[in-house]
Amino acid sequence: LAKTTQPISMDSYEGQEVNITCSHNNIATNDYITWYQQFPSQGPRFIIQGYKTKVTNEVASLFIPADRKSSTLSLPRVSLSDTAVYYCLVGPNSGYSTLTFGKGTMLLVSP
Amino acid sequence: DSGVTQTPKHLITATGQRVTLRCSPRSGDLSVYWYQQSLDQGLQFLIQYYNGEERAKGNILERFSAQQFPDLHSELNLSSLELGDSALYFCASSPRGLDEQFFGPGTRLTVL
């Protein structure tokens, strides 16, 4: 599985847009990029997944450049409840793939 | 609510003991995954079952074992417990052919 690198922590304020970038230089052709969110003492929750270009859903956008060696999770107008750890994962979308979680990015949103 | 249930929520036991954690996947999901999360190790994949068969193994100790039953619920057995086994244990399930995993609320294990 491709190794990922993301910032350990980020700070933001309510109402701002937050962009968390993940590096995955060794991404394979059949790998997808997936982001999960985890609140303290809760299980991770799927946010978004993409393969290339841009993917948007009701909570976030995922930007993937043409070389796919990095990706950026964009959270529009964050609120205090977005304070959590965000994990970037890269791997095949086979349905049988395992997830390798790194340390994640601890996002702290302040008033 | 992800639809994945785990019991018990909390478990306190002593070193050397054996415990069983239980997981019921979302209705229709054939894959079950077990993860361990501790403060120093982060979230680590332990093992995956698909429709009753072991599919993948991660960093699972020999003292740990798991199985998935015909009704698709799964159990994780932890034996000869050590202080270092204290952690949150998560179960996740996924539908066949899709990568999104749905995590349960976890079981917090404390070994004294």
Decide if B106 and A41 are in contact by the 8 Å CB cutoff.
yes
Decide if B97 and A95 are in contact by the 8 Å CB cutoff.
yes
pLDDT at A97: 58
Question: What would the mean pLDDT of A97-109 be, rounded to a whole number?
Answer: 84
Q: Which residues of B42-65 are buried (b: 16+ CB within 10 A; e: fewer)?
A: ebbbbbbbbeeeebeebebeeebe
Residues 6+ apart with CB under 8 A from B62: none
Looking at chain A, the whole-number percentage of residues with pLDDT higher than 90 is 74
pLDDT bracket for residue A72 (50, 70, 90)? very high
Give the gap in angstroms from C-alpha A104 to the nearest C-alpha of chain B.
9
- Interval B32-62: pLDDT, tens: 999 999 887 788 889 999 999 998 888 899 9
pLDDT at A100: 76
Looking at chain A, the whole-number percentage of residues with pLDDT higher than 70 is 93
CB nearest to B45's CB, from A34, A49, A99:
A99
CB nearest to B100's CB, from A38, A49, A87:
A49
- Interval B86-111: pLDDT, tens: 999 999 998 864 568 899 999 999 99
- Does pLDDT of B26 surpass 90? yes
pLDDT at A2: 63
- B75 exposed, middle or buried (CB, 10 Å; 0-12, 13-18, 19+)? middle
**B109 touching A (Cβ < 8 Å):** no
User: Residues A54, A31, A43, CA angle at the centre, nearest 5°?
Assistant: 85
Give the gap in angstroms from C-alpha A16 to the nearest C-alpha of chain B.
27
Question: What's the mean pLDDT when you consider all of chain A?
Answer: 91
User: How far is B74 from B20, CA to CA, in rounded Å?
Assistant: 10
Decide if B108 and A32 are in contact by the 8 Å CB cutoff.
no
Q: Could you give the residue ranges of the DSSP H alpha helices within chain A?
A: none
- Does pLDDT of B7 surpass 80? yes
Decide if B108 and A103 are in contact by the 8 Å CB cutoff.
no
Q: Could you give the residue ranges of the DSSP H alpha helices within A4-77?
A: none
**A42 touching B (Cβ < 8 Å):** yes
Select the residue from A96, A103, A105 to test the B interface by mutation, using most B Cβ atoms within 10 A: A96
Question: What would the mean pLDDT of B59-83 be, rounded to a whole number?
Answer: 96
Q: Which DSSP category does B74 fall into?
A: E
